[in-house]
A and B are shown apart, each in its own frame.
Chain A
Amino acid sequence: QKEVEQNSGPLSVPEGAIASLNCTYSDRGSQSFFWYRQYSGKSPELIMFIYSNGDKEDGRFTAQLNKASQYVSLLIRDSQPSDSATYLCAVSPFSGGYNKLIFGAGTRLAVHP
């Protein structure tokens, strides 16, 4: 079982719609959860992080964390073509070092006009 799992996609949504990206993780003791966006040929850029159960909103982005079910999601409202990228979920495991991140394989999002 992979430590961090994401649907590879592509997830195709029309412009203006809500894109929903999901991620599950195996280490129940994980403490920190991150969403990164990566454009083709570029390095990842942080969108947001979440530490506590529930929702966290930042502009058009909302991260949702459910530690009991071991999943974290990212909602993108009013999706724009410029949001088309690969979204990486990253988890900081309880063991193996406080600062270490384990990345999922990423979900490719395509927003079409």
Chain B
Amino acid sequence: GAVVSQHPSWVICKSGTSVKIECRSLDFQATTMFWYRQFPKQSLMLMATSNEGSKATYEQGVEKDKFLINHASLTLSTLTVTSAHPEDSSFYICSAIRDRGSNEQFFGPGTRLTVL
């Protein structure tokens, strides 16, 4: 199997606060995880690639100081949205690569973030 979980599944926070989202691979070790953001009726936009033990690689236009990514172990990556604002409200989805050298990504169930 290749099960990826995310926590929390949804979160509501006040503007200016920080929110941490966890992504875990439950039955495999993932050296590479990805973080996506999806706005309503739009496609997935890759935010960053997270590699265990190294700094994340951010896509152009994604603020690394605002979206902090930590991949401290082979089964856990975290995304922290710092000083969240209403425009950060979105569906955040992580994915993980199970097989080294593979392009197949297994997706987590997503986290719905609403910033008031």
Contacts and interface: CB of A to CB of B under 8 A. Distances in A.
A71 interface: no
Main secondary structure of the interface of B (DSSP, over half): strand
A43 interface: yes
Interface string A29-45: 00110101000011111
A106 B39 CA distance: 13
Contacts of A103: 43-46
Q: Which of A43, A98, A99, A104 has the most CB of B within 10 A?
A: A43
Majority DSSP secondary structure for residues of A touching B: loop
Contacts of A92: 103
Contacts, number: 51
A88 B44 contact: yes
Interface residues of B, number: 22
A54 B21 CA distance: 40
Given A34-B104, A101-B46, A103-B44, 16 more contacts: A32-B103, A42-B110, A43-B108, A43-B109, A43-B110, A46-B104, A46-B106, A88-B44, A98-B101, A99-B32, A101-B103, A103-B43, A103-B45, A103-B46, A104-B43, A105-B43
